[in-house]
Amino acid sequence: MNKNTIAAADLRQDLDLTLDELRALLSLASEVKKRPREYAQALAGRALALLFEKPSLRTRLTFELAIQQLGGNAVTTIGMIGEREPLKDVARNLDRWTQGIVARVFSQDTIESLAVWSRVPVINALSDLYHPCQALADVQTIHERFGRWQGLKLAFAGDGNNVAHSLIFTAGRLGMHVSIGCPKSYSPNPALVAKARGMGISVDVTHDVAAAVDGAHVVYTDVWASMGQESESAERQRVFAPYQVNSTLMAKAASDAIFLHCLPAKRGQEVTDEVMESEGSAIFDQAENRLHAQKALLLMLID
């Protein structure tokens, strides 16, 4: 079954936004950040459902606040989606009551199914394959620091995970070169890397983290063991130890390089406290911009 005749745009993955839409969204995010009062009633009378299979601080609060600050209402449900009733029934109940569904889930398949069965927009707030909302805030932060994207190098150190995938498609389409430095067995999805290269995105994958970071304007990392990977934690700490972002690694980046992390961070594991608290760290600007980028996303999809 396809969507009903009242079709809605979704953000299931980064490529659901065309490059023109991506640029327009980021311009709007900057505008909303500067003049929030002008948008205070933009979603008045609208409600959105927030579905969380995973715990969250930044995603939950920034979406709840974004909806509220735009004049709408957020209703949050925590638990496994489709556990008590079929997913297609969940989606078709929610689209009768709300004007959008935001879902933070374990599997990308859940996002895809919600989008098939729902007549209202579905927003991927994190899945095992993508984290598009995070990438939007990331590139907004990068532009604030450098005034451009074109020609910049972004180095991602560690696990070639959902965040890495979204950075490839979002930062890469904006003209950044993305270099992934990761252990061989933790490389990003090869089919997605091939797809990106086929689109003309400049991306390389190396197992030499120093080479990945060399000359980078942005150095990015994420936790070594995400939610659902706790049983692998000890092995991951062993494998990823050489990929820690510390002052020695940062010294290989450009002199004006910034450090990014999607948070939460395991200080002393994937990144040192020294780097987290350094002058070049933009992690809290990055976290703040989740709010503004998501406001812009809601305005484009819901309003």
Q: Please tell me the distance from the alpha carbon of residue 210 to that of residue 213, in angstroms, as a whole number.
A: 5
Residue 84 and residue 178 in one domain: no
Q: Please tell me the distance from the alpha carbon of residue 166 to that of residue 136, in angstroms, as a whole number.
A: 9
Q: Which tokens hold the place of 292?
A: 């503004």
- Kindly write down the DSSP assignment for every residue of 64-126, as one continuous string: HHHHHHTT-EEEEEES-TTSSS-HHHHHHHHHHH-S-EEEE-S-HHHHHHHHHH-SS-EEEEE
Encoded amino acid at 97, one letter: W
Residue with tokens 């997605």, as numbered in its chain = 192
Residue 185 and residue 228 in one domain: yes
Residue 210 and residue 262 in one domain: yes
Q: Please tell me the distance from the alpha carbon of residue 280 to that of residue 223, in angstroms, as a whole number.
A: 19
Residue 147 and residue 248 in one domain: yes
Per-residue pLDDT reduced to its tens digit, 4-54: 333 349 999 999 999 999 999 999 999 999 999 999 999 999 999 999 999
Residue 192 and residue 140 in one domain: yes
The count of structural domains within the chain is 2
Residue 177: inside a domain, yes or no? yes
Report yes or no: 299 and 28 within 8 Å, Cβ to Cβ. Answer: yes
Averaged pLDDT, 116-127: 97
Encoded amino acid at 47, one letter: A
The pLDDT value recorded for residue 229 is: 73
pTM of the model: 0.95
Residue 58 and residue 89 in one domain: yes
Per-residue pLDDT reduced to its tens digit, 189-244: 999 999 999 999 999 999 999 999 999 999 999 999 876 677 788 999 999 999 99
Share of the chain above pLDDT 70, in %: 96
The pLDDT value recorded for residue 4 is: 39
The pLDDT value recorded for residue 227 is: 67
Residue 149 and residue 256 in one domain: yes
Residue 221: inside a domain, yes or no? yes
CATH classification at residue 59: 3.40.50.1370
> Which residue numbers are catalytic?
104, 131, 134, 222, 262, 290
Residue ranges making up the domain that contains 178: 134-284
Residue 227: inside a domain, yes or no? yes
Averaged pLDDT, 256-268: 98
Pairing verdict, β 153-157 and 122-126: unpaired
Per-residue pLDDT reduced to its tens digit, 44-87: 999 999 999 998 999 999 999 999 999 999 999 999 998 889 99
Residue 247 and residue 224 in one domain: yes
Report the residue count for the chain: 303
The pLDDT value recorded for residue 133 is: 98
Residue 22: inside a domain, yes or no? yes
Q: Which tokens hold the place of 131?
A: 């984290």
Residue 257 and residue 173 in one domain: yes
Residue 151 and residue 252 in one domain: yes
Residue 127 and residue 138 in one domain: no
Averaged pLDDT, 83-98: 95
Residue 19: inside a domain, yes or no? yes
Q: Is the pLDDT of residue 1 over 80?
A: no
Report yes or no: 129 and 162 within 8 Å, Cβ to Cβ. Answer: yes
In this structure, how many other beta carbons lie within 10 angstroms of the beta carbon of residue 242?
14
Residue 6: inside a domain, yes or no? no
